[in-house]
Structure 1
Amino acid sequence: MATDTQQGEIVNKIKQSKKLATIDLQQYYDDTSRIGLDLKQFLFKGLILKEKEFRQQLKDFDWSQYKDQYVCIYCSSDAIISKWAYMLIGSHLVPHAKEVFNGKPDDIIHELYQRKLAEVDWSQYQDKFVILKGCSDDGRPVPESVYLYATQKLLPYVKKLMYGEACSNVPVYRS
């Protein structure tokens, strides 16, 4: 009886295994454009919020440029900004932006991943060997915090958790 390799066909038994699952966290990346809005531009000398002038600048500002984007509000100067100022800017942004956040664009990556990963039925990995894929350079960053989040969700279900690729992985957990 000839084996698969004797007839020239190489069978990837790891790939065929029903107990092994690979999760590429990058597939949960949100491609929606993220843009930062620095409050400094609305402050007197970049440091002082003068309410009357601030309100007028916001009224005259072109908010449509943020259409359907995630907008992250931050201040790059050491100014003390009252909470109502963020609320006021938010009131101008909400009709245009997909969503408004506090912080810089890179600060919300974890939040966006977590939202999508919260929808995953993690029980599908019950008693499986799971690899969280770790090698890829396609421009969709996966922060360490996202690997931690996925680990927390997987541990109650998996038999074994690994990081990397099927051919080269690092064992992380075994039940």
Structure 2
Amino acid sequence: MSEQQGEIVNKVKQSNKLVTLDLQKYFDDTPILEFDIKDYLYEGLILKEKEFRARLENHDWEQYAGKYLVVYCSSDAIISKWAYMLIAGHASSYAKDIFKGTKEDFLFELYRRKLENVNWKDYKDKFVILKGCSSKDKPVPESVYLFAAKKLVPYVKKLMYGEACSNVPVYRS
């Protein structure tokens, strides 16, 4: 059936200028485990070197094998820089990588590492939609959308958010 005979032709899909960029495809599914230093402090607030070292010695570091480790302190304790170094000394032979900060900050860092390798010039003069819905098993933090938009703006003709059928215009050159 031809277009003249009533066939519906998706001209948007046929256009090579419209590109949907799904940031979830850059998701790293390596598990991320958290290490709260607070649990290794005296009363959750005071870093006592001898006790801290002993608790680290007795910790099961093998549980981090092949996984990412995020180290943070959920209390308002003052943590010396050497404490993080001690944790790295124990975990580095097991963990795939170690990061100081929140899980969401590390998730952004993982995306950033992969997105730095994208050739953003490939999007020159294109109409780009950053896919809006992400699943819970492959979360995309808001900071990743900000990063991708920053990289795309110098090249795209138009940047949108959402889906082709319903999108929010973000930028137009």
Whether TM-score is above 0.5 comes out as yes
- TM (norm. structure 1) is 0.92
What are the within-5 Å matches in structure 2 for residues 1-175 of structure 1? 3-4=2-3, 6=5, 9-175=7-173
Change (3 A) 1:157 1:73: same
Structure 2: where are the runs of 5+ without partners?
Answer: none
Using the TM superposition, give the Cα deviation of residue 154 of structure 1 relative to its aligned residue in structure 2, in angstroms.
0.7
Structure 1: where are the runs of 5+ without partners?
Answer: none
SS at match of 1:100: strand
Aligned length: 173
What's the % identity of the aligned pairs?
64
CA deviation string 1:71-91 (max 9, x = no partner): 011112222111101111111
SS at match of 1:170: strand
Using the TM superposition, give the Cα deviation of residue 35 of structure 1 relative to its aligned residue in structure 2, in angstroms.
0.8
- The one-letter code matched in structure 2 to 1:53 is E
Once residues 99 and 69 of structure 2 are traced to their aligned partners in structure 1, the CA distance between those partners, rounded to angstroms, is 6
Using the TM superposition, give the Cα deviation of residue 38 of structure 1 relative to its aligned residue in structure 2, in angstroms.
1.0
Question: Contact (CA 8 Å) 1:5, 1:11: kept in 2 or not?
Answer: no
Using the TM superposition, give the Cα deviation of residue 104 of structure 1 relative to its aligned residue in structure 2, in angstroms.
2.7
Change (3 A) 1:74 1:120: same
Change (3 A) 1:93 1:133: same
- TM (norm. structure 2) is 0.93
SS at match of 1:156: coil
Question: Contact (CA 8 Å) 2:68, 2:97: kept in 1 or not?
Answer: yes
Once residues 160 and 29 of structure 1 are traced to their aligned partners in structure 2, the CA distance between those partners, rounded to angstroms, is 25
Give the aligned CA root-mean-square deviation in angstroms.
1.6
Q: Which runs of 4+ in 1 moved over 4 A?
A: none
